[in-house]
Homo-oligomer: A and B are copies of this chain.
Amino acid sequence: MNQFGTLFRVSVFGESHGPMIGVTLDGVPSGISLTKEDFAADIARRKPGAKGTTPRVETDEPIIVSGVFNDRTTGAPLTILFENNNTRSKDYEKLREFPRPGHADFVASKKFKGFEDYRGGGHFSGRLTVLLVAAGVVAKKICHGVEIKGHIVEIAGEKDPEKGLQKAIDQKDSVGGIVECVVRNLPLGLGEPFFDSVESQLAHAAFAIPAIKGVEFGAGFAAARMFGVDHNDSILDDSGTTQTNHAGGIVGGISNGNDLIYRVAVKPTSSTPKEQQTLNVKSNQVENFSVKGRHDLCIALRVPVVLEATTAFVLADLLLQSKARN
């Protein structure tokens, strides 16, 4: 289903080329100050327009239609709409012939039996990540005192994002990257053993972001090559501070009071400018094909604020749950 959360619940709806898209937040405590302006900074961070990002620019003006009264949350479901202004549906009609490799076009058509809104990826579109960002803005307010920061670790294998993006421009191809999220001042004790571990929930939400293909916490995959005595984080004091942080702030599925650190792998944008070979579903032949339309060369550049957002709504939910039991 298209929602996430137990006490703080995020539901998304809408398609890339429909009239509008929206997100409903259920379980928001009442009395939190919230205005349109609160969304501006994070939405701007996600916005395309910079080098290597799509020239499709939406106004991305949040329209709060419920759950806020006199600039405070009311405790009722909070719905935020965004209009789709800048759609060029004609660009996509041709794609019915060529389900784009790496995109959901083909699986969507099979899964929904041809009834899916195929324009611009429909409900699968990265356009909907603005909804996650909007949810994150509210969630961050619930996580007050907790600092959540996403940043680029590498682009196209380069630590310097500029150098990585230049590789894409030079190659006239799209590239991927790695994004890290660091959470500071998170209370010890969030999460549950087994299915509701902090890792389970953050990974669940992170893999909801299109193009994410890997998630690792702390030392992550490198841990698989370490010895136990090197990997273990010695506890130094009663607040749980550890000497190292290979666990990425989570032990036994529970936050341990140290910085929570995790990384995601972002695949290269599926809409590469390069010519590809793939199935033409009308001719039923494999043919040459080029993606038209407006696309990011490196979607990873826009992921940090989205990953902050999914992190924020996972943690908001866990913080609310933690209050319930204490």
- Report A241-266 CB contacts with B as 1/0, cut-off 8 Å: 01100111001111110000000011
Chain B residues, Cβ within 8 Å of A99: 235
Say yes or no: A228 contacts B2, CB within 8 Å: no
Known: A176-B226, A203-B204, A270-B228. A1 touches B251 (CB 8 A): no
A103 to B123 alpha-carbon distance, docked (Å): 39
A3, A73, A255, A323, most chain B CB atoms within 10 A: A3
Say yes or no: A27 contacts B1, CB within 8 Å: yes
Name A's interface SS.
Answer: mixed
Additional pairs, 20, CB under 8 Å, beyond known A13-B65, A107-B256: A1-B192, A12-B195, A21-B66, A30-B111, A31-B115, A74-B112, A74-B123, A75-B116, A104-B254, A121-B252, A173-B228, A174-B227, A199-B207, A210-B252, A224-B265, A226-B268, A229-B274, A231-B267, A234-B276, A323-B325
Known: A195-B205, A265-B216. A225 touches B176 (CB 8 A): yes
A266 to B4 alpha-carbon distance, docked (Å): 27
Which of B31, B175, B193, B276 is within 8 Å of A123, CB to CB? B193
A207, A240, A256, most chain B CB atoms within 10 A: A207
20 residue pairs A–B, Cβ–Cβ below 8 Å: A2-B76, A6-B6, A7-B7, A7-B324, A15-B76, A30-B325, A69-B116, A102-B228, A102-B231, A111-B188, A156-B227, A157-B225, A197-B207, A213-B223, A227-B274, A228-B269, A232-B276, A235-B278, A243-B277, A323-B325
A32 to chain B, nearest CB (A): 9
Q: Is A42 in contact with chain B by the CB < 8 A criterion?
A: no
Across chains A and B, which 9 residue pairs bring their CB atoms closest together, nearest first?
A104-B252, A228-B272, A174-B228, A214-B216, A76-B123, A228-B268, A111-B189, A324-B324, A101-B232
Chain B residues, Cβ within 8 Å of A79: 13-14, 22
Say yes or no: B24 contacts A13, CB within 8 Å: yes
Chain B residues, Cβ within 8 Å of A6: 1, 6-7
- The number of times this chain is found in the oligomer is 4
Say yes or no: B195 contacts A200, CB within 8 Å: no
Say yes or no: B213 contacts A214, CB within 8 Å: no
Say yes or no: B107 contacts A13, CB within 8 Å: no
Query: Using a CB-CB cutoff of 8 Å, which residues 33-78 of chain A contact chain B?
Result: 65-67, 69, 72-78
A9, A20, A204, A234, most chain B CB atoms within 10 A: A204
Chain B residues, Cβ within 8 Å of A232: 101-102, 270, 272, 276
Say yes or no: A219 contacts B112, CB within 8 Å: no
A21 to chain B, nearest CB (A): 7
Say yes or no: A66 contacts B205, CB within 8 Å: no
CB-nearest residue of chain B to A173: B227
Say yes or no: B226 contacts A216, CB within 8 Å: no
Q: Is A138 in contact with chain B by the CB < 8 A criterion?
A: no
Chain B residues, Cβ within 8 Å of A194: 2, 12, 128, 208
Say yes or no: B26 contacts A115, CB within 8 Å: no
A166 to chain B, nearest CB (A): 13
Q: Is A146 in contact with chain B by the CB < 8 A criterion?
A: no
Chain B residues, Cβ within 8 Å of A320: 324-325
